[in-house]
Amino acid sequence: MASTQLVGIDIGDTSLRGVEVSGIGGKRPNVVRYFSMPIPSGAVRNGEVIEINTVSAALKQLWSAARFSSKEVVLGVGNSKVLVRDLTVPKLNYQEIRESLPTHVQEMLPVPVADALLDFYPASEAMAEAGPVVNGLLVAAIKDPVLANVKAVQLAGLTPVAVDLIPFALTRLTPPSRLVGNVAHIDIGAKTTNVIVTSNGVPQFVRIIGNGGNDLTTALAERMGIPESEAESLKRTIGLGGAAVAAENNQAVGIIREVTGTFLTSLRNTLGFFASSRQNEPFAGIILSGGGAQLSGLADALSEMTRIPVALMDTFANVDVARDAARGTQSQFGMNIALGLALGGAA
């Protein structure tokens, strides 16, 4: 078992975020420190470390600025190079199931089995004609991108104790009282959206979508011929709210509604696919998180389109936070993935 004090690291395209947690595995873990800092453009692309030395140097700066005490870390994976699919295997112990995965999954993978890292998350047991089986989720990640992230961490003098699937990390932040029935957890990042559906807290379905909040910023910038910084500001100012908008912003309003409408339709179809595969079981709710979820009016629009109650995630609801956990002007915003990774690291 890993230490009960770990740092979850969220390596994003534009920033590094770290959350140090003590008392992991206890009734009420404690956030000791959390910190976020930007990284040079191009060093990370879609969560994959491209410039190992640059990211390693940034991680050293993060540790110095945040004053994290632990050097044991948990990394997350969750991009278009990670495949998560339903898989049913003969009932064996967990280690035997993991060892048998290559014989079950080659036809599902876009690369040879030798080039992938495989894991299995058991969800339920059943009886088939050939005997008892285990139903669960296959997790397959292309090996090289994961190893690049691990190497960057090691070069920074840190010890990776686990690599976790980001969608799994998100489910650890929702209070148990809100995990009854089918609940969709949707995290909208800059370039990637993670969707995970749990049934009474047990993960049943994962999709990693290669779209995020930056798609809207880019569309505004390109179609209006303005800098991305101006497009980002315009997006945040206008949002999807019903407030009156100045006539000169009519073009921006049209672009925001068009791009966001397409994205929301994709989310609705993803949730609809899960429901149809489970005899149209209803959803109890949607938990929304991530920077893209902050777009004004988005939560209401998603609820209206799906007819499912939507709530924004309260990242620190299930943990205690030390009085001096935030250094400087650090905000809790955006710390959800790093916190979820740390909470799962002692398993």
pLDDT of the chain, 347 residues: tens digit per residue: 456 899 999 998 888 999 999 998 888 899 999 999 999 989 998 888 999 999 999 999 999 999 999 999 999 988 878 889 889 999 999 899 999 999 888 788 888 899 999 999 998 899 988 899 999 999 999 999 999 999 999 999 999 999 999 999 999 988 888 889 999 999 998 888 999 999 999 999 999 998 899 999 999 999 999 999 999 999 998 998 666 777 788 899 999 999 999 999 999 999 999 999 888 889 999 999 988 998 999 999 999 999 999 999 988 988 999 998 987 767 787 899 999 999 997 65
**Which tokens hold the place of 105?**
């999954």
**Alpha-carbon separation of residue 105 from 137, 202, 208, 270 (angstroms):** 11, 22, 19, 23
This prediction has a pTM of: 0.89
Measured torsion, CA atoms of residues 19, 66, 229, 193, in degrees rounded to the nearest 10: -10
- Domains of the chain are 6-78+144-177+314-344 (3.30.420.40), 82-142 (3.30.1490), 213-311 (3.30.420.40)
CA distance 304 to 325: 37
By the 8 A CB rule, do 55 and 11 touch? yes
